[in-house]
Amino acid sequence: MEKIVIEEKQSKTLRWMALSFILVIVSLVLWILGMRERKTLLWLTGFIAFVSFTLRLIMLMGKALQKKPLITITFDGIIDSSDGGSVGYIPFLDIESFCIVKLPEGKVIGVLPKDEHGFVEKLSPNKQRIAKANLSMNYPPFSLRVDNAKDMSLEDIFTLLKKRLDDYSSLYD
């Protein structure tokens, strides 16, 4: 079986780029207006805003050119890079099942490990705090945020993950 890479949509980055472009134009107008009117505060504010928003726009353009994988499904596990709190590589050997969890901010795919305590202990201290907070609210210790997946719905990804886990379990358990 080959690995499946689910990429992130760029729509959020493109919206931030559009906003940054508008702010670059506005700050440029402030800068020029401040120089014409000989108002130091307006000139300085416009200049600082122009530099910072231009740098932000350049960083966003670089981000838009990169194709970031949200989740990579390999033969023996998944690589989660869906958000800042993602756990990285998770072998199917450690996964009991997947579930769809409804959170206030939307649906996510919950990952239920076979040994919750053992799995949480392997995480970094920051990720352990997140996992323990999730467990205290009766959520899975961690989840896959796939709401901005390119060309796939949450349900499609959920079905694909379950199938890969079942295939792995039938071969190795």
Answer yes or no: do 21 and 105 share one domain.
no
17-36: average pLDDT: 92
Give the 3-state secondary structure of residue 86.
Answer: coil
Answer yes or no: do 77 and 118 share one domain.
yes
What amino acid occupies position 164? R
Q: Which two tokens stand for residue 60?
A: 């966003």
Higher pLDDT, 52 or 41: 52
Answer yes or no: do 166 and 89 share one domain.
yes
Answer yes or no: do 38 and 60 share one domain.
yes
Q: What is the pLDDT of residue 57?
A: 92
CA nearest 74: which of 143, 4, 6, 7? 4
Contact 10, 72 (CB under 8 A): no
Query: Is 84 among the domain residues?
Result: yes
Q: Which two tokens stand for residue 97?
A: 């099942």
Residue 13 has pLDDT above 90, yes or no: no
Measured between alpha carbons, how far is 20 from 14 in angstroms, rounded to an integer? 10
CA nearest 146: which of 166, 128, 160? 160
- Domain holding 14, by residue range, is 9-65
pTM: 0.68
Q: How many domains does the structure of the chain reveal?
A: 2
Question: How do residues 49-102 score in pLDDT, each as one tens digit?
Answer: 999 999 999 998 887 787 778 888 888 889 888 766 677 888 888 888 898 888
